[in-house]
C-alpha cells in the first residue's frame, strides 16, 4: 500500500478521529464489515505475530480443533 490516499497505510492509521468521521471513514468501514465473509463462508487465514514472543501464529491452527473467538480492538 502507498503512503497517501484512501486505502494507504497513512489513511488506515488515521491520526484524528474527527477527520476520519468527516471523511466518511466510519461509514466505509461499516460497509467493509458487511462485505466481509458471511456466516458459513470460509474465514480468511493469516499468520500473525503474537505479542510477547513475536512467534507467528497461523489462525487456522487455532480453529482446527475447536471454535476460535477472535475479538478485534485497540487500546483507545
Partner 1 sequence: MFIYTREAHPGENVPHHDNFERKLASAKLLAEEAGIGRDILVDDLDGTVHHAYGLMPNMTWVIGWGGRVAYKANWTSATNVEAFLGRFLSGRAGHPPGTSPAMYETQQAEFRYPDRKRFMQHLGRNGPRAVAEFEKAQQLWAQRTPT
Q: Shortest distance, CB of residue 47 to partner 1, whole angstroms?
A: 9
Q: Shortest distance, CB of residue 4 to partner 1, whole angstroms?
A: 13
Nearest Cα to 50, choosing from 42, 39, 61?
A: 61
- Answer left, alpha or beta for residue 5, where phi above 0 means left and psi between -120 and 50 means alpha: left
Given a contact cutoff of 8 angstroms between Cβ atoms, the answer to whether 49 and 55 are in contact is yes
Contact call for residue 3 and partner 1 (CB under 8 A): no
Contact call for residue 12 and partner 1 (CB under 8 A): yes
Residues at the interface with partner 1 (CB under 8 A) = 1, 9-10, 12-22, 28-30, 32-46, 48-52, 57, 59-60, 62-76
Amino acid at each position: 500500500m502507498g503512503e497517501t490516499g484512501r486505502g494507504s497505510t497513512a489513511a488506515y492509521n488515521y491520526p484524528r478521529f474527527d477527520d476520519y468521521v468527516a471523511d466518511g471513514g466510519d461509514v466505509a468501514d461499516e460497509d467493509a464489515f458487511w462485505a466481509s465473509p458471511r456466516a458459513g463462508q470460509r474465514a480468511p487465514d493469516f499468520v500473525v505475530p503474537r505479542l510477547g514472543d513475536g512467534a507467528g501464529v497461523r489462525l487456522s491452527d487455532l480453529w482446527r480443533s475447536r471454535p476460535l473467538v477472535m475479538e478485534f480492538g485497540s487500546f483507545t
